[in-house]
Structure 1
């Protein structure tokens, strides 16, 4: 595995990888995987947050618009005329969907942070035990 070959050549706190027991090396590989996963989750969360902010701004603008004023929306490469009520309904639904998605990503990030913390403690404990014994 690519990450294992990198890990073997990596120096962890002054301890060369070849001096680390195989089970600790496996934990380090798992830790690296969790760190990569959390980076992806953070990126997704940022994208969803931007999209949510845009949707909320659109919602505010639609709400300010007087009834009967034409509202246009993009559908793919087209711009389509819509009504205020239809546009409100669609944007509110989008906001709700994005809020649910954001909460799910926040839970996922929290779980990964907990796993990373737990794994880091296991690794530190194993390395202390390995150095002492």
Structure 2
């Protein structure tokens, strides 16, 4: 795994969490959606309760997965912070934190740090070189 891949793991987990949150929202909307039909015949009285139960079970399962992913993200971010703090150059630290922990775009990092985009990429390469010495073994 490259240094960029190692640092980028947090972003991927964050994306998965957001995707699952959208799925939960969609399932909740489905569960609360009420349909009524106008008809001369009275309702049969046999609503599909099992279908609603399945939706609720899926919501609970997804929420449990989200909680597990959040725990994993917090642990990974803590590990990445430890790696970044070992770099002595504060500019490199700031750059890596904004990019890999705050998930800022390159343009936003450049604005925050008040650097030209090309210069920022040069700094990034140097920061990654220093960071590689501190990546935990097996990562």
TM-score of Structure 1 vs Structure 2, range by shorter chain: 0.5 to 0.7
Partner of 2:55: 98
Superposed counterparts of 1:4-15, under 5 Å: none
Unaligned runs of 5+ residues in structure 1 are 1-21, 62-67, 72-82
Q: Does 1:70 align with 2:49?
A: no
Report how many residues are paired: 87
Contact 1:31 1:119 in 2 (8 A): yes
Superposed counterparts of 1:1-133, under 5 Å: 22-23=2-3, 25-54=4-33, 57=34, 69-71=41-43, 83-85=44-46, 88=47, 90=48, 92-131=49-88
Q: Secondary structure in 2 aligned to 1:130?
A: coil
Q: Distance in 2 between matches of 1:127 and 1:118?
A: 14
TM-score computed with the length of structure 2 as normaliser? 0.55
TM-score computed with the length of structure 1 as normaliser? 0.57
Root mean square deviation of aligned Cα: 2.5
Unaligned runs of 5+ residues in structure 2 are 90-133, 135-139
Q: Which has the higher contact order (CA 8 A, sep 6+)?
A: 2
Q: Distance in 2 between matches of 1:119 and 1:131?
A: 21
